[in-house]
C-alpha cells in the first residue's frame, strides 16, 4: 500500500481527461489494490490468475471517477472502500449460497446512476467512512495509551502555531524514516538527542512537543492503518 | 463565523477533542449529535482553550469600561465645582442627580471618598460635602473661610432645572454653614463650558482657573500646581489678589456674601431707637466704607448680604439682595453681654438696648484695650462676645483713621489670631469666666445708668 500524499491533486487532473495520468496512477496503485483485495479475501492473490484483482482494478478506476474531494475523505480510504465493496459483491455473486437472489439485484442497483442511487451510495460511503474512522481512532487511542498519552493531553500540548506544528511533524517524519519508532515504542521516550542532531530542531522545542511528536510519528509509522487520521497530518513542504 | 472542521476523537460530556485538518488537537464544546469518527464543524468560539477568550474578554471589559466612562461623563448636563480648599467637581444630570464626582486636589479626593454621591440630589450632596468639610475642619469658625462654587451647564439645549441655578446653590451651601455657626465668604458663579474645559486641562476647578486668569491680567502668575493645591486664601495673601473679585470680574452674575454669626444680630444702623451720635457716625462711616471699597467687594460685618457690585459699581448684577436679618434667637455667646439685644418691642428690652448701646459708646476705648490684652495673653475664649465690641471699635477707629479700611474689609482675618476658641467653648472654665465678664459688664452698665443718665436721655 504505497500510496503517496499527492493523490488528490492528481485525481483532479485525471478527471479533466488526462488519460496518461490515469494509467500511470492505476499502475502505481496496483500493489495497493492487491493488498486491499488480498486482505479482504484472506489470501495472497496473483495478478495472472485471480479475478478478484481485476474486480479491484476496475473498482479503483471507478473510485477515481467517483471520488469527490469535498467529502473530506482521503482518496486512499475512498478507493479502499470502493474496492472492498465491489470485491465483496463479486464474492457474494460467486458464492454458492447467495448465487441467485439479492446480490445480483444489489449489483444491478449499484450500476444504476439515478439520483436515488447516488444518495444511497453517498450515505453508504459516509457510514463506512464513519465506521472506519471510528475504528482507526480506537486503534490510535490504544496505541497512544500504550505511550502514556491521552487525547486531552494532545489537545493541551498541540502547538497553536502552524510553524511549530510543521517543525514537530518534521521531527516525527524523521523518527519514522530513521527507524527510531520501534525504539520509541519500547522506551516510551523520544530519542531527543538523535532527533536534535538529525533535524537541527532545538531540544527545547522537541521536549515541549514531545507528546505531539510521539502521536504524529505513530500515525506515520502505521500509515496504512491510519489512512483517515494520517490525512489530517499534512507533511510540510520542506523535507527532512 | 469562522468554522473549524475536525474529526471527533474523544467525547467527554458535552466536550471533546477534535483533530482538525491542519493537524491540531483541540478541546472543544461539541455540537449535538457528535460521535467519535464523525467530522464536525466547530465555531471558533467554542474552543475550550480559555486563554485567548480571557484575553478578548478582558479587552472587552476594558473597552466597555472606557465607553461606560465616556458615556457617563457627558451624561452630566451640568457641573458644579466647589472650592473649599478641597476642590471637588460634581457632574449633575438633567434630573438634578449627581452622577459623578471628582476630587481635583488631594484634599478634594479625600473628601469625596468619604461621601456617597451616586444618584443623590444635588442639594443633598452639596450639604453633605459642606458638612463633611466642616467635620474635617476645612471649614471652621476660627478660619477665614472662603467657598467658591461654579456652575457650568454643558448641555445648553436641555432645560436645566431651577435647582442648578446660582441662587439655589448659594442657598444650599449657605444653610449648613449657617447651622454650624461658621463664618465664610461664599462666592457662587456661573461659568462658560469653555472655562470648564480650560480648567480641566490644568486639572482644577473653573473657580480657581478664573482666579488664575484674572491674576494674569494683572500680571500675576500663579503656577498650575499652586493653583490646584494651595488654599485660595493663601493665594490671595501671597499674590495680593481677591478671589471673589476675580470671579466677579469674569461673571457679573456672581453672587457672593458672608455668612457668619454676626449676621444674626441686628445692625446698629437698623436700630432706629439708638440714634446717638456714635451710631449715626457709624452709619456714615459704613457708607463711607462702602464707597471706599471701590473694588466692588462689599461686605459689611453686620449681616447684610449683597450681590457683588450692587452698591458701588452695579456692574450688571441682578440687583441688591439685601436680606433683613433673621433673628433666630438662640442664646449666643455674643449676645449675653447685651441681654435680649435682638428682641425689639417690649419697653424693657428697649431699655436693655439702650444700655447696651450706651455701653458700647462709653466703653469703646476701654474694651479695645481689654481685648488687646486678652489676645496678647492668649485668653481667646472671649472672642465671641468681644467680636461685637471689637467690630464696633474698629468702626470707630476707622472713622478716625482711614488706614483701617482694609481691616474692615476682612474682619475674618483678625479672627484667625484668636486661635482655637471654639473648641473650648463648652468647657466649664469658659462658662465661668464668661459669667465673670458678664457680671463685670453688668456692673458697668449699672454704673453708667447711675452716672450718665442725662446723656442717655438726650440721645
CB atoms A155 and B25 under 8 Å: yes
The three three-digit cell numbers of residue B443, written as one number: 456692673
pLDDT tens digit sequence for A15-54: 887 888 888 888 888 888 888 888 888 888 888 888 888 9
Place of cell 510540510: A236
What is the Cα–Cα distance from B372 to B370, expressed in whole angstroms?
A: 5
Q: A60 — contact with chain B (CB < 8 Å)?
A: no
pLDDT tens digit sequence for A168-225: 888 888 888 888 888 888 888 888 888 888 888 888 888 888 899 999 999 888 888 8
Helix (H, G, I), strand (E, B), or coil: what is residue A70?
Answer: helix
Query: Which among B10, B20, B38 is the nearest to A130, CB-wise?
Result: B38
Classify residue B136 as exposed, middle or buried by CB count within 10 Å of its CB (0-12, 13-18, 19+): middle
- Best residue in B27, B33, B36, B39 to probe A by mutation, most A CBs within 10 Å? B39
CB atoms B23 and A169 under 8 Å: yes
Q: A164 — contact with chain B (CB < 8 Å)?
A: no
Strand ranges, E, within chain A? none
Closest CA to B18 of B42, B1, B2: B42
Strand ranges, E, within B44-131? 78-83, 87-92, 97-103, 120-121
Tell me the ipTM for this assembly: 0.77
Residue B456 per-residue DSSP state? H
Q: What is the CA radius of gyration of chain B?
A: 33
Q: How far is B16 from chain A (nearest CA, A)?
A: 8
Tell me which H or E stretch contains B7: strand B3-12
Closest CA to A76 of A183, A230, A237, A239: A230
Q: A45 — contact with chain B (CB < 8 Å)?
A: no
**Partners of B100 in the beta sheet?**
B91
CB B150 within 8 A of CB B190: yes
pLDDT tens digit sequence for B273-312: 444 444 444 444 444 443 333 444 444 444 444 444 333 3
Tell me which H or E stretch contains A40: helix A19-41
Q: How far is B41 from chain A (nearest CA, A)?
A: 12
What is the Cα–Cα distance from A42 to A40, expressed in whole angstroms?
A: 5
pLDDT tens digit sequence for A142-184: 999 988 888 888 888 888 888 888 888 888 888 888 888 888 8
User: Which of A 101-130 lie inside 8 A of B, CB atoms?
Assistant: 130
Q: A219 — contact with chain B (CB < 8 Å)?
A: no
CB atoms B27 and A159 under 8 Å: no
Q: How far is A87 from chain B (nearest CA, A)?
A: 25
Q: A158 — contact with chain B (CB < 8 Å)?
A: yes
CB contacts, 8 Å: B39 with chain A: 72
Residue B40: C-alpha distances to residues A96, A133, A212, B36 (Å): 43, 13, 22, 10
Q: A160 — contact with chain B (CB < 8 Å)?
A: yes
CB atoms A155 and B5 under 8 Å: no
The three three-digit cell numbers of residue B83, written as one number: 472650592
pLDDT tens digit sequence for A107-121: 444 555 567 777 788
Q: What is the mean pLDDT of residues B125-135?
A: 84
Say how many Å lie between the first and final Cα of chain B, rounded: 100
CB B211 within 8 A of CB B218: no
CB B422 within 8 A of CB B142: yes
Query: Which among A72, A140, A158 is the nearest to B39, CB-wise?
Result: A72
Helix (H, G, I), strand (E, B), or coil: what is residue B221?
Answer: coil
Q: A133 — contact with chain B (CB < 8 Å)?
A: yes
CB atoms A154 and B5 under 8 Å: no
Tell me which H or E stretch contains B27: strand B25-29
Half-sphere exposure in the Cβ direction for A222 (13 Å, CA)? 18
Please tell me the pTM assigned to this model: 0.41
Q: What is the mean pLDDT of residues B53-72?
A: 84
pLDDT computed for residue B45 by the predictor: 57
CB atoms B27 and A152 under 8 Å: yes
Q: How far is A15 from chain B (nearest CA, A)?
A: 24
CB contacts, 8 Å: A156 with chain B: 27
Query: Which among A137, A152, A165 is the nearest to B23, CB-wise?
Result: A165
Nearest chain B Cα to A161, which residue? B24
CB contacts, 8 Å: B7 with chain A: 133, 137, 228-229, 232
Q: A33 — contact with chain B (CB < 8 Å)?
A: no
Q: How many CB pairs under 8 A join A and B?
A: 65
CB contacts, 8 Å: B17 with chain A: 151-152, 154-155
Exposure b/e, B149-168, CB count within 10 A at least 16 = b: bbbbbbeeeeebeebbbbeb
The three three-digit cell numbers of residue B300, written as one number: 459689611
Exposure b/e, B83-103, CB count within 10 A at least 16 = b: bbbbbbbbbbbbebbbbbbbb
User: Which of B 33-62 lie inside 8 A of A, CB atoms?
Assistant: 35-39
Is the pLDDT confidence value at B9 over 50?
A: yes
What is the Cα–Cα distance from B84 to B109, expressed in whole angstroms?
A: 12
pLDDT computed for residue B60 by the predictor: 92
What is the Cα–Cα distance from B325 to A114, expressed in whole angstroms?
A: 108
CB atoms A151 and B7 under 8 Å: no
pLDDT tens digit sequence for B388-430: 444 455 545 545 555 544 444 444 444 444 444 444 455 667 7
Q: B17 — contact with chain A (CB < 8 Å)?
A: yes
CB atoms A134 and B37 under 8 Å: yes
CB atoms B7 and A232 under 8 Å: yes
pLDDT tens digit sequence for B199-216: 888 888 888 888 888 888
Closest CA to B394 of B417, B374, B412: B412
CB atoms A155 and B39 under 8 Å: no
Instruction: Enumerate residues 6+ apart whose C-beta is below 8 A from B177.
Output: B130, B134, B139, B145, B147, B184, B186, B259
pLDDT tens digit sequence for B230-281: 777 777 777 777 777 777 777 766 776 765 443 433 333 334 444 444 444 4
Amino acid at each position: 500500500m504505497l500510496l503517496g500524499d499527492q493523490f488528490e491533486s492528481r485525481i483532479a487532473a485525471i478527471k479533466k481527461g488526462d488519460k496518461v495520468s490515469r494509467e500511470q496512477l492505476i499502475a502505481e496503485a496496483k500493489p495497493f489494490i492487491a493488498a486491499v483485495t488480498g486482505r479482504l479475501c484472506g489470501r495472497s492473490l496473483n495478478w495472472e490468475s485471480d479475478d478478484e484483482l481485476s474486480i479491484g482494478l476496475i473498482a479503483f478506476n471507478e473510485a477515481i471517477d467517483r471520488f469527490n474531494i469535498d467529502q473530506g475523505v482521503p482518496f486512499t480510504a475512498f478507493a479502499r472502500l470502493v474496492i472492498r465493496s465491489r470485491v465483496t459483491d463479486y464474492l457474494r455473486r460467486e458464492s454458492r449460497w447467495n448465487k441467485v437472489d439479492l446480490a445480483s439485484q444489489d449489483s444491478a442497483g449499484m450500476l444504476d446512476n439515478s439520483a436515488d442511487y447516488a444518495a444511497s451510495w453517498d450515505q453508504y460511503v459516509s457510514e463506512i467512512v464513519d465506521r472506519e474512522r471510528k475504528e482507526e481512532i480506537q486503534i490510535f487511542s490504544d496505541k497512544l495509551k500504550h505511550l502514556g498519552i491521552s487525547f486531552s493531553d494532545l489537545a493541551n500540548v498541540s502547538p497553536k502555531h502552524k510553524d511549530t506544528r510543521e517543525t514537530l511533524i518534521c521531527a516525527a517524519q524523521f523518527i519514522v524514516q530513521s527507524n527510531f519508532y520501534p525504539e520509541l515504542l519500547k522506551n516510551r521516550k523520544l530519542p531527543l538527542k538523535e532527533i536534535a542532531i538529525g533535524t537541527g530542531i532545538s531540544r527545547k522545542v522537541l521536549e515541549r512537543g514531545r507528546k505531539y511528536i510521539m502521536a504524529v510519528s505513530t500515525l506515520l509509522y502505521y500509515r496504512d492503518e491510519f489512512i483517515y487520521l494520517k490525512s489530517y497530518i499534512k507533511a510540510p513542504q520542506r523535507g527532512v | 463565523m469562522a468554522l473549524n472542521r475536525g474529526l471527533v476523537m474523544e467525547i467527554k460530556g458535552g466536550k471533546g477533542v477534535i483533530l482538525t485538518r491542519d493537524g491540531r488537537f483541540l478541546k472543544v464544546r461539541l455540537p449535538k449529535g457528535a460521535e467519535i469518527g464523525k467530522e464536525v464543524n466547530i465555531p471558533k468560539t467554542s474552543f475550550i482553550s480559555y486563554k485567548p477568550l480571557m484575553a478578548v474578554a478582558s479587552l472587552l471589559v476594558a473597552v466597555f469600561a472606557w465607553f461606560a466612562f465616556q458615556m457617563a461623563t457627558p451624561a452630566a448636563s451640568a457641573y458644579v465645582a466647589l472650592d473649599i480648599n478641597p476642590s471637588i467637581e460634581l457632574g449633575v444630570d438633567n434630573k438634578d442627580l449627581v452622577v459623578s464626582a471628582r476630587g481635583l486636589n488631594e484634599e478634594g479626593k479625600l473628601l469625596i471618598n468619604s461621601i456617597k454621591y451616586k444618584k443623590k440630589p444635588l442639594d443633598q450632596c452639596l450639604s453633605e460635602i459642606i458638612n463633611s468639610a466642616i467635620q474635617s475642619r476645612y471649614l471652621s469658625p476660627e478660619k477665614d473661610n472662603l467657598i467658591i462654587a461654579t456652575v457650568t451647564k454643558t448641555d445648553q439645549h436641555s432645560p436645566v432645572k431651577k435647582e442648578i441655578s446660582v441662587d439655589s446653590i448659594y442657598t444650599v451651601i449657605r444653610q449648613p454653614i449657617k447651622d454650624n455657626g461658621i463664618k465664610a465668604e461664599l462666592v457662587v458663579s456661573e461659568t462658560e463650558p469653555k472655562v470648564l474645559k480650560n480648567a480641566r486641562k490644568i486639572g482644577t476647578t473653573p473657580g480657581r482657573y478664573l482666579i488664575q486668569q484674572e491674576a494674569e491680567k494683572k500680571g500675576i502668575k500663579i503656577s498650575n500646581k499652586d493653583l490646584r493645591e494651595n488654599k485660595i486664601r493663601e493665594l490671595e495673601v501671597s499674590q495680593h489678589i481677591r478671589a471673589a473679585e476675580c470671579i466677579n470680574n469674569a461673571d457679573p452674575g456672581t453672587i457672593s456674601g458672608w455668612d457668619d454669626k454676626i449676621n444674626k444680630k441686628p445692625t446698629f444702623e437698623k436700630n432706629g431707637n439708638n440714634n446717638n451720635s456714635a451710631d449715626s457716625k457709624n452709619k456714615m462711616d459704613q457708607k463711607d466704607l462702602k464707597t471706599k471699597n471701590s473694588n466692588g467687594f462689599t461686605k459689611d460685618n453686620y449681616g447684610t448680604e449683597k450681590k457683588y457690585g450692587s452698591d458701588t459699581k452695579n456692574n450688571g448684577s441682578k440687583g441688591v439682595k439685601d436680606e433683613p436679618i433673621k433673628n433666630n434667637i438662640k442664646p449666643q455667646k455674643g449676645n449675653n453681654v447685651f441681654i435680649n439685644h435682638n428682641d425689639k418691642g417690649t419697653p424693657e428690652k428697649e431699655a436693655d438696648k439702650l444700655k447696651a448701646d450706651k455701653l458700647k459708646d462709653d466703653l469703646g476705648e476701654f474694651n479695645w484695650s481689654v481685648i488687646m490684652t486678652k489676645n496678647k495673653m492668649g485668653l481667646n475664649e472671649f472672642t465671641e462676645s468681644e467680636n461685637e465690641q471689637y467690630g464696633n471699635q474698629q468702626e470707630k477707629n476707622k472713622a478716625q483713621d482711614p488706614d483701617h479700611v482694609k481691616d474692615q474689609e476682612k474682619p475674618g482675618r483678625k479672627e484667625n489670631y484668636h486661635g482655637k476658641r471654639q473648641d473650648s467653648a463648652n468647657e466649664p472654665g469658659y462658662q465661668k469666666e464668661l459669667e465673670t465678664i458678664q457680671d463685670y459688664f453688668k456692673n458697668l452698665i449699672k454704673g453708667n445708668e447711675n452716672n450718665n443718665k442725662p446723656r442717655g436721655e438726650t440721645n
